[in-house]
Amino acid sequence: MKRLLSEFIRKINRSFTFVVMDAERMKQHGVVTLNPLRFIATILGVLFVLFLSFQAILLFTPLRNSLPGVGSEDMKSDARQNELRIQSMADSLALQEAYLKRLRDMILGNVENIPLPKDEEESATFEDGSSLTNLPIPDASEDWEDHVQPALPITQLSARSIDGSELSLPSGGLGKSGPSYLSSLSFPVFPPVSGLLTRGYDARTGHFAIDIAVEEGSAVRSIGDGYVVLADWLNDGGQVIAIAHAGGFLSVFKHNSSLLKQVGDRVRDREAVALSGNSGEITSGPHAHFELWHNGLAQDPRAYVLGW
């Protein structure tokens, strides 16, 4: 065999003829002509094709994840995306807690004008020389004059006092638009939307509201006179609007597709404040989510709304 290979190497450009014979009967079975150079080229070509096929299978099929380094890069990318999602959820949760704290303070009347510490005022200065105290207020409420200090407590803005007598309100202190008082809620009130009640009030499970199935884009109307104290996006509730009414009542509408009012706006009874939708993380379809609070405690709206 060694001698044969040596002949192939020395005369690689020549062709060799092999006679195939039966060793026992000395009978010829055939003749084979072989060129060593062509034979080696054929073997290398077959190996190259197999190599390309194997690479294509690894690169264009799920088997590519088994390659060293490839699967780990995908895992790193997924980990980075998950980290960003977690950070975003944490930021949204912090904003929600801040909104709830402000809302709770507004309901309980614990709103104070606390000035910034001196060092924080100095640090709140930008490169152009502007500071937080002289920045313009974007999209200011049209009823901003109603909130100029000293503003009357909302309990004094109802049409009548507790004993039923008319209130004597100061002139010029309650803005220029509309009457200078807020009508008290007269229960039972008309429902904010017309639709089918799909989920009721259940304090045990934390559902402090009722859900009404309506078509997306339906007008959500205020149940009475009041002021908008919250109009913003929340992660779980989507587009949320909250209205403070006389007598310590607060109505909240969540999962809206869009809001028609902004913080500080005065709204009247049956005035459209939002359009129903399916916004937010915690929702099961287009509907109107209606909450009613009184002095900081949730109430079952069905006891206060006509026809429910």
- Give the domain ranges of the chain: 2-62, 196-303
Cis peptide leading into 150, omega within 30 of 0? yes
Give the ranges where the chain is alpha helix by DSSP (H).
2-10, 36-60, 70-108, 118-123
| Dihedral of alpha carbons 13, 14, 15, 20, sign | negative
Where b means 16+ CB within 10 Å and e means fewer, 134-154 reads eeeeeeebebeebeeeeebeb
pLDDT along the chain (308 residues), means of 10: 70 73 71 77 90 82 66 70 81 78 70 45 48 50 79 63 45 44 87 94 93 94 96 91 94 96 94 94 90 94 90
Cis peptide leading into 170, omega within 30 of 0? no
- In this structure, which CATH number among 3.90.1150.10, 3.90.76.10, 2.40.50.1020, 2.70.70.10 belongs to the domain 196-303? 2.70.70.10
pTM over 0.85: no
Q: Note the pLDDT of residue 37.
A: 76
